Amino acid sequence: MSDNVIIRAQNVQKTYNTGKVIVQALRGVDLEVKQGEMVTIMGPSGCGKTTLLNTLSGLDAIDEGVIEIGGRNLAKMGDKERTAYRAANMGFVFQFYNLLPVLTAVENVEMPLLLDYTRRIKAKEARRLAHEALAAVGLKQQADQRPTELSGGQQQRVTIARALVNKPAIVWADEPTGDLDSKTSQEIMDLMRRLNQENGQTFVIVTHSLEIGEQCDRIVWMKDGMVVSEPQQQHTAVPASGHSNGSNGYTNGHSSLQDESTILVPDLQAISHN
Ligand SMILES: Nc1ncnc2c1ncn2[C@@H]1O[C@H](COP(=O)(O)OP(=O)(O)O)[C@@H](O)[C@H]1O
Ligand SMILES: [Mg+2]
Q: Is 42 in the pocket of ligand 1 (CB under 6 A)?
A: no
* Diameter over CA atoms, the chain: 51
Q: Whose CA is nearest to atom 17 of ligand 1?
A: 48
Q: How far is 105 from 211, CA to CA, in rounded Å?
A: 29
Q: How far is the CA of 133 from the centre of ligand 1 (A)?
A: 33
Identity of the highest mean pLDDT range in 91-100, 143-152, 226-235: 143-152
Q: Is 83 in the pocket of ligand 1 (CB under 6 A)?
A: no
Q: Which domains does the chain have, with CATH numbers?
A: 31-60+78-268 (3.40.50.300)
* Residue 59 C-alpha from the chain's centroid: 11
Phi, psi of 229 (to 5 degrees): -80, -20
Residues facing 220 on adjacent strands: 41
Q: Whose CA is nearest to atom 24 of ligand 1?
A: 46
Q: How confident is the model at residue 234 (pLDDT cuts 50, 70, 90)?
A: low
Query: Which residues are placed with Cβ below 5 angstroms of ligand 2, an ion?
Result: 49-50
- Look at residue 263 and tell me whether its pLDDT is greater than 50: no
Q: Whose CA is nearest to atom 4 of ligand 1?
A: 16
Q: Identify which ligand lies nearest to the alpha carbon of 175.
A: 2
% of the chain at pLDDT higher than 70:
82
**pTM for the model:** 0.81
State how beta strands 5-17 and 218-223 pair.
unpaired
Convert the pLDDT of each residue in 41-75 to its tens digit. 999 999 999 999 999 999 899 999 999 999 999 99
pLDDT of the residue at 23: 94
Contact indicator for 212, 189 with CB cutoff of 8 Å: yes
- Look at residue 255 and tell me whether its pLDDT is greater than 90: no
Q: How far is 61 from 116, CA to CA, in rounded Å?
A: 24
Convert the pLDDT of each residue in 78-87 to its tens digit. 888 888 888 7
Contact indicator for 102, 108 with CB cutoff of 8 Å: no
Q: How far is 16 from 40, CA to CA, in rounded Å?
A: 24
Q: How far is 47 from 177, CA to CA, in rounded Å?
A: 19
Q: Identify which ligand lies nearest to the alpha carbon of 233.
A: 1
